[in-house]
């Protein structure tokens, strides 16, 4: 991969060890990864090999033991937790496998959360969220609570929420893991459209089909990146 | 028997549960797995319901303790008089082998006396002291429970000049062990040495005439006989000898079969002397028991609010548990578990929690009850003349009832919630979808709704017709709430429900005024029901319209606080049932506290007015030994005294329409001097007299007329059961002469703070009582410029040999008011405990809420929700509930009390102005807020510390 100055993310020598009592699990054993701006990257690998851990550590959701992670040139692990949280609100969007949404909020209320967090006025936030829900094809379901939406619809709301604040990078951990292929399709198409529009995307998946939709794929095994390249090449 | 009604469902549930535990290993395994797999959750459920059970049990224990303590009679159930001192041993011998139904006897000799301190200045006197002779060892054996006799630690029977004094006397005269005390009786003085002090309990606290005070001196046997036999003895003071009899059973169960036993006792002593086991003293026992009953009732009423708060907490906790399990229960249904199996498996799990919490809660309830009693004892001891010796009584009855209520509520809630979950659509359960808000027009709902309306209206009609407060009060709200399903078929549900709530609220507020006849003599339970209706209607109103508040916050813009507020509000609104339970718990407790605070303030501020109304223009009230009184001449010669009004007093028996059994009550006769400077205020008088003054003058000069107070022939507190009105006729009976007369009520005084009792003219009193009425009380007017307190102190110190106890009327009123205040304070303290427990409950509920939402918090943190906002959202959530509860309770209580004072006849007559006790309310508000915040700070901080990466892994 060519190294350019426009890398949005630059991780070096990331080590993460889980400690529970006397037990230690070396989940990441020295990961180096650069992600250029606008790239659609998929992270693949067998279950339990550190994909989620990698995502958590690169996005700053979890602490690391060694190494550095620069996001847009800033070392996110050097930040205090509150600053890192703020950073996430401003620059990152997240999509998780399940239970993504706040059940007591309606779809539109869920979507507008990141906007409100970054200080956008309530009226404007509502308007933009409606627009975003329109884009994911849920303009007619904005006042429904998550429990009243299908799994695919919920996931599209989550996508809308991840994108509404125009983040620099969107992280998705098994975004379709809970969906059948039929329901997963619109969600994946949405991700594809995002990429086309220039959005940087990191998608963790163990589904080769989904991984193949990305422009670059890394394979994680045993806490290391063991392969990196175009999906077809790996 | 409400106990049976409580028991039935529990028995059914318990039978099923035991059967399942033994015979259905699958269900058992499922339940046990759930308990052990989530130890933290299980612990919280147990702790929460433990708290609730503890408060319930403590309420019952405190009620029982107060009841036990106020019954000073202790083990004595009957009183067998001896015709003379000399015949006492014969009577005692006749009763020495117990009469069936009794288990002990105790001979007692008693005489009235004046007791005075020897040292100190001024010397202190108690003109109504009693000298008693009793064998201490026998007294301890009496009734089978030494602790209840008051002599448990009293040592041996006094001999020589040794004396053992009751705590009441020790306090009045500032006596301690080793002090000397003078006793004036039979025209002589006896100097005694205090060897010990006994509590006011059982025989040691034996009281005559004045049930709230027992200034007893226990002296060496034979002392009274020796004094009475002195040649110069003034025998106006007749020594009494009697045998106390204790019935089988404890202090409380004893009195029930008294009537039959009385006949047996009379038959037994007939060969010795034809004495009657007099009804006079039996009345005294009844009076004390009645006083304790009404006191206990007040407590039970107040305690009922704590019990209800505890019940709401229990329901809340188990509903929460079911909510948490909803998707799991749905999953089990999906894999083919039948509905009833599911309910039963959950039932086993709930039963495990319920039993653990019930047992532990009952035990903690003992501790809490003890704590309340200790605090109450402190409070009682601070007051001048309102002293109750509390004896903490752990009655099996209270424990069983507390345990049972805890179990019943837990089990029923567990079953009800799991049946509800079991009936949910499987998918809705798994995905935790709220039940759709369709207006169900099913026939059954309609029929039930109609039946409920009919029932409510019927209840109301029969309540009004039969002057039964419950139906009249509860009927309209029941009808209103029942019509919601029916009407919401045609009108929007929100409108119907809101209207029904407002209607119920309004009714509960004005019912007492609109139907004065029905609510004429209501008891404490009526106020409990009123409070419950008000609070539940208000909480339901809030719950119906809670979503409006969400719209409000969603208009709020900006990051930070507004967002936290929005999040903090979203959960309570989404979980309305649970929120309502919490809210109701707070509101009920605060409602009662505010109500009490209003009345405490009210009475507290009436002192000067009450003394003015009572005084008839006099300043000092002088009580002296009726056998050797301070005469008007003697008093007039004292410095500072301007003029005097001598009063004659006697304690005959009375009967009236509402009390057909003769009852001893004070009678005070006055002459024209009493009316020289005015007259005590009357609440009402017979119209023919034209004015208050004319009424008093008529009573002074006309035989057969009397003025009584509104609590004539009543014992104890609480709202009046029966009221006496001008024109009513009652009978007076003098036991020694056997004469009777009928008196007509000319007027009724507003309040009789100095306990003059029945007021009649001196001429009639002398003709009726002859030598059996004596000068015992004098009103003294002080010279201009002289201070009443000083004159009173000088009179007491200077006229000790006459047993003078002089106090200003204003100080008497003041102390009496303090008693009220002390009582109110105790009630408030009791409720504070309810509030604390409510707050602890809130803490538990919030801890569970944090666990319940861990994953959601993880998501929020991941998308950039700062930790402090998470904490703030939780704090906000708790504070919103607490503020709503506090404000709701306060506002409702203020409305009701204002309404009562402004419109109710009872209070209006007393012209008590309504005042908001701002200071107390502010304290309650701030305390409730701060305590709630402290309780929630832990869980909220815990929530804010949740690491997104960890929380996101929680499968749930
Ligand atoms: N909190 C933790 N404590 C201890 N070990 C952990 C913890 N979280 C993850 N692990 C371990 O770290 C390793 C990597 O886990 P991770 O969740 O990153 O795998 P994954 O590749 O995302 O798997 P999957 O495809 O199943 O989601 C696993 O062996 C897992 O057991
Ligand atoms: Mg994973």
pLDDT digits (tens, 9 = 90+) for B283-334: 555 555 555 555 556 666 667 777 777 778 777 777 777 777 777 777 777 7
Q: What are phi and psi of A42, to 5 degrees?
A: -110, 145
Q: Smallest Cα–Cα separation from B21: which of B345, B305, B332?
A: B345
Cα–Cα distance between B463 and B456 in angstroms, integer? Answer: 10
Q: Smallest Cα–Cα separation from B487: which of B533, B446, B448, B543?
A: B446
Q: Smallest Cα–Cα separation from B198: which of B251, B255, B153, B256?
A: B153
CB contact under 8 A, A113 and B863: yes
Q: Residue range B531-541: average pLDDT?
A: 90
The predicted pLDDT at position A230 comes to: 82
Cα–Cα distance between A28 and A44 in angstroms, integer? Answer: 14
Chain B interface mutation, best of A57, A104, A119, highest count of B Cβ atoms under 10 Å:
A104
Token duo for residue B857: 């918090």
**B677 falls in which pLDDT band (50, 70, 90)?**
very high
Cα–Cα distance between B157 and B141 in angstroms, integer? Answer: 13
User: What SS3 class is residue B74?
Assistant: coil
CB count, 10 Å around CB of A22?
Answer: 5
Q: Residue range A7-24: average pLDDT?
A: 87
Give percent of chain A with pLDDT exceeding 90: 24
CB contact under 8 A, B863 and A61: no
Closest residue (by CA) to atom 12 of ligand 1? Answer: A27
Cα–Cα distance between B282 and B259 in angstroms, integer? Answer: 10
Q: Please confirm whether the linkage preceding B635 is cis (ω < 30° from 0).
A: no
Q: Does residue B398 have a pLDDT over 90?
A: no
Q: Smallest Cα–Cα separation from B873: which of A117, A76, A59, A5?
A: A117
Q: Residue range B513-538: average pLDDT?
A: 79
Looking at the DSSP bridge assignments, the partners of residue B486 are none
Closest residue (by CA) to atom 19 of ligand 1? Answer: A48
Q: Residue range A190-213: average pLDDT?
A: 86
Distance (Å) from CA A66 to ligand 2 centroid: 21
pLDDT digits (tens, 9 = 90+) for A79-113: 888 888 888 888 899 988 876 788 888 899 899 88
**B494 falls in which pLDDT band (50, 70, 90)?**
confident
Q: Which residues in chain A touch residue B953, judged by CB atoms under 8 angstroms apart?
A: 52
Cα–Cα distance between B757 and B717 in angstroms, integer? Answer: 16
Token duo for residue B811: 């100080």
Cα–Cα distance between B107 and B44 in angstroms, integer? Answer: 57
Q: Which residues in chain B touch residue A94, judged by CB atoms under 8 angstroms apart?
A: 859, 862-863
The predicted pLDDT at position B695 comes to: 94
Q: Does A175 touch chain B (CB under 8 A)?
A: no
Q: Smallest Cα–Cα separation from B196: which of B153, B235, B147?
A: B153
Q: Does residue A1 have a pLDDT over 50?
A: no
CB contact under 8 A, B556 and A122: yes
Mean pLDDT of chain A: 86
Q: What are phi and psi of B229, to 5 degrees?
A: -85, -10
Q: Does residue B245 have a pLDDT over 60?
A: yes
Cα–Cα distance between A47 and A205 in angstroms, integer? Answer: 10
Does the domain at residues A37-63+79-233 carry the CATH identifier 3.40.50.300? yes
Distance, CA of B279 to chain centre: 28
Q: Does residue B421 have a pLDDT over 80?
A: no
Pocket mutation for ligand 1, best pick of A27, A172, A178, A220 (most atoms within 8 Å of C-beta): A27
The predicted pLDDT at position B707 comes to: 94
Cα–Cα distance between B877 and B936 in angstroms, integer? Answer: 9
User: What SS3 class is residue B166?
Assistant: strand
ipTM of the complex: 0.87
Q: Are β-strands B641-650 and B667-670 bridged in parallel, bridged antiparallel, or unpaired?
A: antiparallel
What does the domain layout of chain A look like in residue ranges? 37-63+79-233
Cα–Cα distance between B353 and B407 in angstroms, integer? Answer: 9
Cα–Cα distance between B40 and B321 in angstroms, integer? Answer: 12
B133 in Cβ contact with B218 (< 8 Å): yes
Burial B451-486 (b: 16+ CB within 10 A, else e): ebbeebeebbeebbeeeebebbbbbbbbbbbbbbbb
Q: Does residue B86 have a pLDDT over 50?
A: yes
CB contact under 8 A, A116 and B563: yes
Token duo for residue B354: 């319920």
pLDDT digits (tens, 9 = 90+) for B818-846: 666 666 666 666 667 667 767 777 887 88
Of residues A214 and B772, more confidently modeled: A214
> What residues contact B170, with CB distance under 8 A and at least 6 apart?
B176, B194, B197
């Amino acid at each position: 991969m060519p190294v350019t100055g426009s890398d949005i993310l630059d991780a070096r020598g990331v080590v993460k060890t889980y400690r529970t009592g006397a037990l230690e699990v070396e989940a990441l054993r020295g990961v180096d990864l650069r992600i250029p701006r606008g790239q659609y990257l998929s992270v693949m690998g067998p279950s339990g090999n550190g994909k989620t851990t990698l995502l958590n550590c690169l996005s700053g959701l979890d602490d690391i033991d060694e190494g550095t992670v620069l996001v847009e040139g800033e070392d996110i692990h050097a930040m205090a937790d509150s600053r890192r949280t703020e950073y996430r609100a401003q620059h990152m969007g997240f999509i998780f496998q399940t239970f993504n949404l706040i059940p007591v909020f309606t779809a539109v209320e869920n979507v507008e959360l990141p906007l409100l967090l970054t200080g956008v006025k309530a009226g404007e936030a509502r308007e933009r969220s409606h627009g975003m829900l329109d884009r994911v094809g849920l303009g007619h379901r904005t006042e429904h609570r998550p429990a009243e939406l299908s799994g695919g619809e919920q996931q599209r709301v989550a996508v809308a929420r991840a994108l509404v604040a125009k983040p620099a990078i969107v992280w998705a951990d098994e975004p379709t893991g809970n969906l059948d292929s039929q329901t997963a399709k619109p969600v994946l198409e949405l991700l594809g459209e995002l990429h086309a529009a220039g959005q940087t995307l990191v998608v963790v998946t163990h589904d080769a089909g989904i991984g193949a939709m990305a422009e670059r794929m890394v394979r994680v095994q045993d806490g290391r990146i063991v392969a990196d390249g175009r999906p077809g090449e790996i | 028997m409400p106990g049976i009604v409580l028991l039935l469902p529990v028995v059914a549930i318990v039978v099923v549960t035991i059967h399942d535990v033994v015979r259905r290993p699958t269900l058992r395994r499922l339940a046990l797995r759930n308990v052990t797999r989530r130890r933290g959750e299980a612990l919280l459920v147990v702790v929460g319901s433990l708290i609730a059970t503890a408060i319930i049990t403590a309420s019952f224990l405190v009620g029982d303790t107060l009841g036990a303590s106020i019954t000073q009679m202790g083990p004595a159930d009957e009183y067998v008089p001896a015709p003379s001192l000399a015949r006492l041993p014969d009577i005692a011998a006749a009763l020495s082998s117990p009469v069936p139904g009794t288990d002990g006897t105790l001979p007692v000799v008693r005489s009235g006396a004046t007791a005075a301190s020897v040292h100190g200045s001024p010397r202190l006197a108690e003109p109504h002291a009693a000298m008693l002779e009793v064998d201490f060892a026998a007294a301890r054996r009496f009734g089978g429970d030494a602790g209840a006799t008051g002599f448990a630690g009293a040592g041996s029977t006094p001999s020589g000049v040794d004396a053992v004094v009751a705590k009441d006397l020790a306090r009045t005269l500032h006596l301690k062990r080793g002090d000397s005390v003078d006793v004036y009786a039979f025209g002589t003085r006896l100097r005694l040495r205090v060897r010990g002090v006994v509590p006011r309990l059982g025989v040691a606290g034996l009281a005559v005439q004045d049930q709230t005070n027992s200034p007893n001196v226990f002296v060496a046997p034979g002392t009274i006989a020796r004094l009475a036999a002195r040649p110069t003895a003034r025998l106006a003071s007749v020594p009494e000898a009697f045998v106390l009899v204790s019935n089988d059973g404890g202090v409380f169960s004893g009195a029930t079969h008294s009537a039959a036993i009385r006949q047996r006792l009379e038959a037994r002593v007939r060969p010795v002397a034809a004495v009657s086991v007099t009804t006079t003293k039996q009345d005294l026992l009844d009076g004390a028991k009645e006083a304790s009953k009404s006191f206990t009732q007040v407590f039970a009423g107040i305690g009922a609010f704590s019990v209800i708060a505890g019940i709401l907490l229990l329901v809340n906790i188990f509903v929460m548990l079911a909510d948490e399990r909803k998707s799991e229960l749905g999953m089990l249904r999906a894999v083919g578990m039948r509905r009833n199996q599911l309910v039963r498996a959950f039932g086993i799990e709930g039963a495990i929690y319920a039993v653990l919490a019930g047992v532990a809660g009952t035990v903690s309830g003992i501790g809490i009850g003890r704590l309340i009693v200790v605090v109450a004892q402190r409070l009682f001891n601070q007051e001048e003349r309102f002293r109750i010796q509390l004896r903490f009584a752990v009655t099996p009855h209270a424990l069983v009832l507390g345990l049972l209520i805890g179990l019943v509520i837990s089990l029923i809630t567990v079953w009800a919630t799991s049946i509800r979950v079991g009936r949910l659509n499987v998918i809705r359960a798994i995905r935790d979808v709220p039940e759709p808000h369709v207006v169900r027009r099913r026939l059954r709902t309609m029929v039930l709704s109609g039946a409920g309306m009919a029932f409510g209206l019927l209840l109301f009609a029969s309540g009004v017709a039969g002057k039964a407060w419950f139906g009249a009060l509860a009927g309209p709200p029941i009808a209103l709430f029942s019509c919601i399903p029916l009407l919401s078929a045609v009108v929007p549900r929100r409108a119907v429900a809101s209207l029904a709530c407002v209607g119920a609220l309004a009714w509960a507020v004005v019912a007492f005024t609109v139907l004065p006849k029905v609510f004429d003599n209501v008891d404490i339970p009526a106020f409990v029901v009123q409070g419950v209706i008000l609070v539940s209607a208000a909480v339901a109103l809030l719950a119906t319209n809670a979503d409006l508040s969400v719209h409000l916050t969603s208009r709020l813009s900006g990051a930070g606080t507004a967002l936290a507020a929005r999040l903090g509000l979203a959960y309570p609104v989404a979980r309305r049932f649970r929120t309502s339970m919490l809210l109701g718990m707070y509101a009920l407790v605060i409602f009662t506290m505010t109500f009490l605070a209003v009345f405490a303030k009210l009475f507290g501020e009436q002192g000067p007015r009450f003394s003015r109304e009572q005084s008839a223009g006099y300043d000092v009230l002088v009580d002296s030994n009726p056998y050797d009184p301070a005469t008007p001449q003697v008093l007039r010669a004292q410095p500072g005294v301007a003029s005097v009004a001598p009063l004659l007093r006697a304690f005959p028996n009375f009967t009236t329409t509402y009390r057909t059994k003769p009852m001893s009550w004070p009678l005070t006769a006055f002459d024209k001097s009493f009316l020289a400077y005015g007259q005590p205020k009357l609440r009402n008088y017979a119209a023919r007299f034209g004015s208050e003054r004319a009424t008093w003058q008529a009573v002074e000069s006309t035989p057969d007329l009397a003025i009584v107070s509104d609590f004539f022939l009543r014992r104890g507190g609480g709202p009046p059961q029966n009221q006496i009105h001008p024109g009513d006729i009652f009978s007076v009976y003098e036991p020694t002469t056997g004469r009777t007369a009928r008196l007509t009520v000319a007027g009724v005084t507003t309040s009789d703070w100095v306990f003059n009792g029945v007021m009649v003219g001196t001429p009639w009193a002398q003709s009726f009582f002859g030598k059996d009425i004596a000068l015992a009380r004098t009103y003294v007017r002080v010279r201009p410029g002289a201070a009443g307190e000083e004159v009173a102190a000088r009179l007491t110190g200077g006229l000790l040999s006459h047993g003078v106890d002089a106090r200003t009327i204003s100080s008497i009123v003041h102390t009496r008011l303090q008693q009220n205040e002390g009582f109110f304070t105790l009630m408030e303290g009791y409720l504070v405990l309810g509030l604390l427990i409510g707050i602890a409950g809130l803490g538990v509920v919030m801890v569970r809420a944090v666990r319940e939402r861990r994953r959601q918090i993880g998501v929020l943190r991941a998308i950039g929700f700062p930790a402090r906002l998470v904490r703030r959202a939780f704090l906000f959530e708790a504070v919103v509930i607490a503020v709503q509860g506090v404000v709701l309770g306060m506002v409702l209580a203020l409305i009701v009390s204002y309404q009562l004072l402004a419109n109710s006849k009872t209070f209006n007559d007393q012209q008590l102005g309504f005042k908001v006790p701002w200071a107390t309310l502010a304290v309650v508000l701030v305390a409730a807020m701060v305590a709630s915040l402290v309780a929630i700070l832990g869980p909220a901080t815990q929530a804010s510390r949740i690491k997104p990466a960890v929380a996101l892994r929680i499968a749930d």
